[in-house]
Amino acid sequence: MALIVQKYGGTSMGTPERIKNVARRIAKFQAQGHQVVVVVSAMSGETNRLIGLAKEIQAQPDPRELDVVVSTGEQVTIGLLCMALINMGLKARSYTGPQVRILTDSSFTKARILKIDEDRMRKDLEEGSVVVVAGFQGVDDAGNLTTLGRGGSDTTGVALAAALRADECQIYTDVDGVYTTDPRIVPEARKLDTITFEEMLEMASLGSKVLQIRSVEFAGKYKVRLRVLSSFQDEGEGTLITFEDDIKMEQPIISGIAFNRDEAKLTVLGVPDRPGIAYQILGPIADANIDVDMIIQNVSHDGTTDFSFTVPRGEHDRALGILEGVKAHVGARELRGDRSMAKVSVVGVGMRSHVGIASKMFRTLAEEGINIQMISTSEIKISVAIDEKYLELAVRVLHKAFELDQVPA
Ligand code: ASP
Ligand code: MG
């Protein structure tokens, strides 16, 4: 007998018929003798609808009240799913985040989980019930409802699995696993049977939207065995997210190509090259809570240099505004902003023990005439910033060059 946490996303919960299908899947696991805790999202589109309503009342919704509104989506689906289970003759009980007592901090709309009380869930499981918990929500110390940020039900699932020391956390979604890259761009993309936690973290942070990044971080920290699989297929093992130390086999050098379209580049030209200049430029950007990704400072000429960095595209205008002030302050010559950047990365833990990956990547892009504007690397990834209009081409040629379309021997 195993204890399994299953998380079902909005598409899987999208209609009463689909909810009944989810119930059938849960029943199958229970019939095999497993204890099942289920975490659900709101019906697809519902959270967006609720945010839309809030914005019709208040353009910038009050964060505390917004959480009160958007957390209702998941309260509907936990109840409906329990009804479907009860209808099939199973015992089932639903709980909102506060009822479980998923304790979070008080950062409304992006709260972090601090502690989970497992007693009620354990008791129900021992009595043979399926426990169904609302994803995405919790309660702070003062009793306020909180939510965990978009896609937060993944994090609820992983956090419950960690708290209950579950044998596995299964994330059911509308894709059947994690792919070498987005199959909509590269039809030859392959589903991976396994991916390491570190690679998954890179893939998720680089824009593969299969899992909320915080859920992956959580799984890594608490060593939760995590699996992504399709709720629309009966067969299939999905993709298991493994821990590098646990694997004996040789790792593929590259596991996937990740990308992100939403990048923008800002350049400050003709900055006096003196100590403290990077801080003077990036300090105010950080103070404004804007994430900076890649950074380049050029060699100086005649005592001045050019300084470039990337930010999420949505922050381009705000960052440029801040730089106007910086420009006057440090005596820079000119500012430039480019909103049409994209980032492409090759990701793989096998890179640690292989050389020549970067040069292969650069050669492949050069052969297509794609200009690399910025480069950054870590132990397990190489990222380049390029003009967005070459993104799909870059992903395709890299996927092929690293033979990701071929099943590894
Ligand atoms: N319903 C929330 C959202 O749409 C949480 C989730 O689905 O994970 O972001
Ligand atoms: Mg999701």
Q: 45: CA distance to ligand 1 center in Å?
A: 9
pLDDT of the residue at 248: 57
In this prediction, residue 205 carries a pLDDT of 74
pLDDT value for 232: 84
Report which protein residue has its CA nearest ligand 1's atom 6.
Answer: 151
Do residues 135 and 153 lie in contact, with contact meaning Cβ atoms separated by under 8 Å?
Answer: yes
DSSP state of 152: T
CB atoms within 10 A of CB 368: 12
Q: Which residues have beta carbons under 5 A from ligand 2 (an ion)? A: 9, 151
User: Coil, strand, or helix at residue 289?
Assistant: coil
Substitution candidate for ligand 1 out of 6, 146, 150 with most atoms within 8 A of CB: 150
- Among candidates 340, 339, 338, 392, which has minimal Cα distance to 365? 392
For residue 235, the model assigns a pLDDT of 80
Closest ligand 1 atom, residue 10 Cα: 7
Beta strands 3-8 and 35-40: pairing type?
parallel
User: 351 with 380: CB under 8 angstroms?
Assistant: yes
Which residue spans within 223-333 are E strands per DSSP?
A: 226-230, 239-242, 256-272, 295-297, 304-312
How far apart CA 193 and CA 21 sit, in angstroms, is 25
Closest CA to ligand 1's atom 8: 151
CA distance 72 to 241: 31
| Tens digits of pLDDT across the chain (409 residues) | 899 999 999 999 999 999 999 999 999 999 999 999 999 999 999 999 999 999 999 999 999 999 999 999 999 999 999 999 999 999 999 999 999 999 999 999 999 999 999 999 999 999 999 999 999 999 999 999 999 999 999 999 999 999 999 999 999 988 888 999 998 899 999 999 999 999 998 888 776 678 888 899 999 999 999 999 988 887 889 999 988 766 656 667 899 999 999 999 999 999 999 899 999 999 999 999 899 999 999 888 888 999 999 999 999 999 999 999 999 999 999 999 999 999 999 999 988 888 899 999 999 999 999 999 999 999 999 999 999 999 999 999 999 999 999 987 6
| AA identity, residue 172 | Y
CA distance 143 to 106: 10
CA distances from 143 to 48, 64, 134, 161 (A): 25, 12, 17, 24
CA 160–ligand 2 middle distance (angstroms): 16
Ligand 1 proximal residues by C-beta, below 6 Å: 9-10, 41-42, 47, 73, 135-136, 150-154
Q: Whose atoms come closest to the Cα of 48: which ligand? A: 1
pLDDT on residue 110: 93
The pLDDT, as a whole number, for residue 300 is: 84
d(CA 68, CA 144): 9
Q: In this structure, which ligand is nearest to the CA of 43?
A: 1
pTM: 0.85
CA of 325 to the centre of ligand 2 (A): 39
Ligand that comes closest to the CA of residue 76: 1
